[in-house]
Amino acid sequence: DAKTTQPPSMDCAEGRAANLPCNHSTISGNEYVYWYRQIHSQGPQYIIHGLKNNETNEMASLIITEDRKSSTLILPHATLRDTAVYYCIVRVAEYGNKLVFGAGTILRVKS
């Protein structure tokens, strides 16, 4: 699986959009971009994933650049409960293929 690079930490004001960047310059054509988050003392939680097109669900939006070498996870209106470690992972969506986690970005939402 290709590696990703994320900033170690970010701050965001409550109610504002949180934009979390991820670089994956060696991503292959069949690798998806996945985002998970981990709130303190809990297991990781799936947020969203995409291949080429931008994706949106009830939790977040995922913007993938045209060359697919980077992406941004957007939490449109961050709340204090969004404080967590956010992991950007690239993987081939093949049967059984495991997720390989990096260190992630610690997002602190402040009031």
Question: Which residues of this chain interact with another protein, rule CB under 8 A?
Answer: 36, 41-46, 85, 87, 93-104
Nearest distance from residue 91's CB to another protein, in Å? 10
| C-beta closer to another protein: residue 41 or 111 | 41
Q: How far is CA 51 from the centre of its chain?
A: 13
Nearest distance from residue 30's CB to another protein, in Å? 13
| C-beta closer to another protein: residue 1 or 14 | 1
Nearest distance from residue 103's CB to another protein, in Å? 6
Q: Which own/partner pairs from 100-105 qualify as long-range (CB within 8 Å, at least 24 positions apart)?
A: 100/1, 101/36, 101/44, 102/3, 102/4, 102/5, 102/6, 103/6, 103/8, 104/6, 104/38, 105/6, 105/7, 105/8, 105/9, 105/10, 105/20
What is the three-class DSSP state of 102? coil
Nearest distance from residue 66's CB to another protein, in Å? 25
| C-beta closer to another protein: residue 72 or 101 | 101
| C-beta closer to another protein: residue 41 or 53 | 41
